[in-house]
Structures are given as C-alpha cells and as structure tokens.
Amino acid sequence: MVDGVATAWFDAPSLIEGAALAGRIVELSAEILVDLRATGLQVRLDSPEHAEAVSAAARDLELAANPAVLQRLSVVLESANPPVVRGFWQRVLDYAPGEDGGLADPLRRDPAVRIRQSTEPRPLRNRIHLDVVRPAAAVEQASLGEASGPYGVCHTDPDGNEVDLVPGDVLGEKIGTADWQAVFSAMACYRITSPTQQRDLAAAAAALADETGFPLLVDLRPGLVIIDSGKDQWEDDAHGLELDFTDLAGNLQTAARELGATADPGLPRFAQLFLDASDVAAVRAFWVAVLGYTHDRRAGVSDIHDPRRLNPVLVFQELDASEIERRRQRNRIHFELAVPSDLAQTRLATTIAAGGRLLDESENRWHLADPEGNELVIVTGA
C-alpha cells in the first residue's frame, strides 16, 4: 500500500516487454492505472482483488516485482484559511477535490496537494514554490489575474505561496505533431474507447520508442493513453541520442490516429517543485539520497528527477545567504513521502544519514527537515 493504493513495480528490460504486461492488465479492469517506462511499469489497482491476477501475468512474462522503488511524493500547504487556498490551487492545477480535503490530479500523474490547518504566522516568502505548465488556453481560463516576476508568470495564493503558471505551446509547426503540446515535457493525451484500443496504442508506442532507444513515458488511464517525453527530453541535448524527437512524435501521432484514438489538447500538464537554497549542492545532495533521484546529465542544470519519472522533478536555485530571516522561517509548504510500511525504517535511516533531522514522530509518520530546514514527512499505510 502506497498512499492508500495497492501498488507494484515490475522491472522490464524494454518498453515492448513492459507493454506486453500492460496489455494483459488493462483487460482485467479499465480502472487500473499503469505507468509504462523503459525499465518497467508501475501498477496501481482500483481494487486489491486484481493483485493476484496482475502478479500471475507478470510471472508468466518473467517480469519480477521490485517493491524497493515504490514511493509517492505529494505537496502539503499549511494555511489559516484552507478553503480559500484550495480554490486558488484548484484553478491553477485543474485538480479535483480530494477525500482528505485537499486536491488530486484527475489523471493521477502529478503530485497531490494536501491542505492542513495552521495558525502559525509565516509572513516571508517561502523557499519552496511550484512550477506548473499547461496549454495556453488553460492558463488563460484559470483567470488568476495579473502575473508578476521576471518572466511574468508568477502568481501568489491568499497566503503568499507562489506558483509559476507557464503557458505551453504546440510542439513545432509540423502538421504531423499537431496532437502534441510542449509543457516542459512534450506530451500528447489520447482518448480511447476500448481496452483493445488502449492495449494496441501502448504496444505501438513502445515499439516505436524502443526502435529509436528513446525512454518514452506511456501512462494508461481510464479512457486515456498519455504519451510523454519527460521534462526537456524532447530537446536534442537532453538525452544524448542522435534523434529529432519531433520525428518520433510524428510517428506516434500517426499510429494513434490509425488506431482511432483522438487527441485531447487541453489535458497536458507538467508540475515540478522548486527549492531555494543557500548551499544548493548540499541541499540537492540530500534530496538525491532521500528520494533516490538522478541528476540531470547537462552541465549547469540543477534538476534532479525520479529515474523512473513517476514522481515530480525537483529544481534548485541559489538563495542569497544574507536573507537570514527568510532562511529561518518555516516554509508554508512541505513534502510528504509515502512508502511501503516495510521500507519506512530504511528510508528514515537514509534520510538521517544524508543530514536530515528528525523533528517529530508518531505512528506510521516521521517528520524531518533537510540541512536548511525544508521539511519532509515520511508516511506509510493507508
């Protein structure tokens, strides 16, 4: 159980072999969530009753489970007025109300936003903010008012928490990539009408990506197939391949249309988490260790990412060391990391070994801080 959902990861040597398992899974239930990656696939069940059948299908294809990699990172906002703050972020993200009073991505890809009551005064700017990229029409429809900041995209909620809400764009001028949006990632979301269509599109996408060696992300959702490059990976210098991604995107679009899938250009969304730090190297090293993340391969880029690209990218920028009061103030935003119960103590030990401080603990819950006071809560169970 990860964040209340029965979850498994199965290692696979290629997208094609992972897609073979995904195809069997979607025939069990249209509500099962599958995140297909070049190294395997994550499966989140609508009902634990399907767990045995999924595991049997994986064994039949000789794909082994690897529970050590399972985790789910979410964002927590502390607010004196949760309903007002919730309304702001619902417009920003186009999320649905969550069962816990927070907000959840209807596509169940981007991090959940949890909102907790707090009366602690924290008047200065956070050291954490979010970047959200959505199609330009969706950004306009959010109606957040006049933006600020050096790029003219920064908005603040009623508590002063910041988001850079960035309008995306089409992926180039080619008719052959008209289904695609550039939202930091290159992404196309296809509506499908049957499990067979979903299975066949996932298999076609896997075959096309494996042919080029590109580590494509293919997410299967009820009535949807989401095809994604990963952040910046569509750019030539990001992946080290001799590949023009728009050529692959065009082939993927052709395959999707031939199978009768219909693009929904309003759905793409990318969200990442931004941390200001006076010692970027030390803080980044902490989060790499705690989350098992990987550095971006490009020089001068501060991003770290989930090697399976199942959790949000973290980006770091330098904070002026003279801003002493801002550095001392507790953020109004912190992160929550859900892990399987039997892995919690290992993750806790890793966090402390990386320089984390244990602030508080209760049953199935450990509250920690990184070397500059950014907070993380490790949770287990439902």
pLDDT tens, residue by residue, 226-255? 999 999 999 887 888 889 999 999 999 999
What is the bridge-based pairing of β-strands 154-156 and 162-167? Answer: antiparallel
First to last CA, the chain: 7
Per-residue pLDDT for 358 more than 70?
yes
What six digits make up the tokens of 108?
């169940």
Mean pLDDT of the chain: 95
DSSP state of 260: T
Closest CA to 216 of 191, 192, 251: 251
Q: How confident is the model at residue 381 (pLDDT cuts 50, 70, 90)?
A: confident
Helix (H) or strand (E) holding 337, with range, is strand 333-338
Which amino acid is present at 246? T
Per-residue pLDDT for 37 more than 90?
yes
With a pLDDT cut of 90, the percent of the chain lying above it is 89
Q: How confident is the model at residue 110 (pLDDT cuts 50, 70, 90)?
A: very high
Q: What is the mean pLDDT of residues 123-135?
A: 95
Res 378: pLDDT: 98
- Reported as half-sphere exposure (CB side, CA atoms, 13 A), residue 357 has a value of 9
Per-residue pLDDT for 382 more than 80?
no
Residue 15 phi/psi, 5-degree rounding, is -60, -40
Q: How confident is the model at residue 337 (pLDDT cuts 50, 70, 90)?
A: very high
Helix (H) or strand (E) holding 15, with range, is helix 15-26
Q: What is the mean pLDDT of residues 277-295?
A: 96
Instruction: Report the range of poorest mean pLDDT among 56-60, 85-89, 240-244.
Output: 240-244
Q: What is the mean pLDDT of residues 178-207?
A: 97
Query: Which pTM does this prediction carry?
Result: 0.96
Res 107: pLDDT: 97
Res 99: pLDDT: 83
Closest CA to 239 of 164, 303, 298, 321: 298
Instruction: Report the range of poorest mean pLDDT among 202-206, 240-244, 340-344, 368-372.
Output: 240-244
Per-residue pLDDT for 154 more than 80?
yes
* DSSP line for 84-147: HHHHHHHHHH-PEEPTTSSEE-TTS-SPPEEEEE------SPPSEEEEEEE-HHHHHHH-----
Instruction: Report the range of poorest mean pLDDT among 115-119, 147-151, 167-171, 233-237.
Output: 233-237
Q: How confident is the model at residue 175 (pLDDT cuts 50, 70, 90)?
A: confident
* DSSP line for 182-240: EESEEEEEEE-SSHHHHHHHHHHHHHHHHHHT---EEEEETTEEEEE--TTTTSHHHH-
Res 242: pLDDT: 86
